Amino acid sequence: MNVDWLEDYLALIEAGGFARAAERRAMTQPTFSRRIRALEDWVGVTLIDRGTHTMRLTPAGERFKTVAELATRQLQLGREEARAVAKASSETLRFAATHALSLTFFPNWLRQLEKDEPATVTVELTADHMVACERLMIEGRAQFLLCHHHEAAPTRLGRDFRSVLLGGDVLLPVISPQLAAETPPEKAPQLALSPESGMGRILAAAWAMTGREPPSMPAFTSHLASVLTAMARNGRGVAWTALSLVSEDISTGKLMRAGTPEQDVPIEIRLWRPATRQSPAAEALWSKILKSQKSALSAGQTTNDP
């Protein structure tokens, strides 16, 4: 069995179709289909229901998905542990972070963490949308994931992962004052977050709890809240975004609220890690984070809020 087949299988599930998955895996669709067939032959069962127009897993395929995720993550972790033993004197801390937090939160948080004890290891940060960041964690290609979180929108990181609360943020609608003077916010074009966005996932879940309908025909969609913020700043419509991204814009008058504070969606900023033991440097960092958060709580502080 070729380990690449497992990655092909997970890419197919994430892409939702053979053509898109083959493109992401940089191969032709016939070649990709043959590799999926080879995996099914090795497993001995049909994993993909090919009798429907949309890509759908068979019951066996659903069960094998968990196995594939665990196997790829364990193989990646095993390889990293072997590498860590070989280079004990030089380690890398690998972070995945959603785009917004990589810009607004991560630099200051890391500086505060290193204030009393400068880092002696290399820090590597990969910024991407939430779905891609979850994939990095599941496959073991990142040790930590920094992201927004809401209890109504669970992540793909299940019991094999744990997290710590680092701070808070708020999702709110914003509009440029110029556009607001011409068009009421409720009638202005809507700039929407795509399903790949963690904020988009949170908004959809929070609105579902309150019975609010998402925009039916948004004028523009992106998985980057920073892009929607820039579009709103340019008077293109109403964007739901994080307060940490627009607090300065609101204070300087470049943007204004497009709704009431009651419509805001409070969210958490969390750091995730695998439950299994990681490299010595990663475990040392985790212990330092827990100690820092415990000290902040005992002092009655709420740290890192926007």
Range of the domain at 42: 3-78
User: Does residue 303 belong to any structural domain of this protein?
Assistant: no
* 288 and 147 within one domain: yes
As a whole number, mean pLDDT of residues 53-66 equals: 90
Instruction: Please tell me whether residues 177 and 254 are part of one structural domain.
Output: yes
Say which CATH number the domain at 127 has: 3.40.190.10
What is the arithmetic mean of pLDDT over 196-204? 91
Amino acid at 123: V
Residue 271 scores a pLDDT above 90: yes
246 pLDDT more than 50: yes
Q: Does 256 have pLDDT greater than 90?
A: yes
Give the 3-state secondary structure of residue 272. strand
Supply the pLDDT for residue 118.
Answer: 62
Residue 268 CB coordination number (10 Å): 16
Shared domain for 140 and 278, answered yes or no, is yes
**Which runs of consecutive H residues, i.e. helices, occur in 143-279?**
177-182, 198-210, 225-233, 243-252
53: Cα within 13 Å, side-chain hemisphere? 0
Closest CA to 135 of 80, 226, 221, 72: 72
pLDDT of residue 275: 93
214 and 160 in contact (C-beta within 8 Å)? no
What is the spatial distance between Cα 176 and Cα 229, in angstroms, rounded to a whole number? 10
Per-residue pLDDT at 92: 81
Q: Are residues 157 and 178 in the same domain?
A: no
9 within domain boundaries: yes
**Does 239 have pLDDT greater than 70?**
yes
**Average pLDDT rounded to a whole number, residues 137-161:** 92
Does 306 score more than 60 pLDDT? Answer: no
pLDDT of 6:
92
Cα gap 13→36, rounded to integer Å:
11
Q: Say which CATH number the domain at 54 has.
A: 1.10.10.10
pLDDT confidence band for 82 (50 / 70 / 90): confident
pLDDT at 89: 41
3-state secondary structure of 195: coil
Query: Could you tell me if 294 and 164 are in contact, meaning their C-beta atoms sit under 8 angstroms apart?
Result: no
**174 and 291 co-located in one domain:** no
pLDDT (0 to 100) of residue 86: 63
Q: Does residue 294 share a domain with residue 262?
A: no
261, containing H or E segment: none
Question: Does residue 305 belong to any structural domain of this protein?
Answer: no
Residue 211 lies in a domain: yes
Residue 304 belongs to a domain: no
Q: What is the mean pLDDT of residues 59-84?
A: 88
| Residues whose CB falls within 8 Å of the CB of residue 297, separated by 6 or more in sequence, listed in order | none
pLDDT-derived band at 158 (thresholds 50, 70, 90) equals confident
Least-confidence region, from 23-32, 75-84, 165-174, 176-185: 75-84
Share of the chain above pLDDT 90, in %: 64
How many structural domains compose the chain? 3
Q: Are residues 25 and 147 in the same domain?
A: no
pLDDT digit string, tens, across residues 94-123: 999 999 999 999 999 998 888 766 667 788
In the listed set 62, 78, 94, which residue is the last one of a domain according to the structure? 78
CA 169 to chain centre: 15
Q: What is the pLDDT of residue 212?
A: 85
Mean pLDDT of 203-223: 88
Mean pLDDT of the chain, nearest integer? 89
Does residue 101 share a domain with residue 189? no
pLDDT at 66 over 80: yes
Q: Is residue 121 part of a domain?
A: yes
- Give this prediction's pTM: 0.68
Per cent of the chain over pLDDT 70 is 92
166: pLDDT strictly greater than 80: yes
Mean pLDDT of 230-241: 95
Same domain, 110 and 131: yes
Question: Is residue 149 located within the same domain as residue 278?
Answer: yes
* More confident position, 54 or 145: 145
pLDDT at res. 210: 85
**218 and 130 part of one domain:** no
What pLDDT digit, counting tens, does each position of 4-54 carry? 999 999 999 999 899 999 998 999 999 999 999 999 999 999 999 988 778
Same domain as 236, residue 220: yes
| Burial 175-204, CB ≥16 within 10 A → b, else e | bbeebbeeeebeebbbbbbbebbbbbbbbb
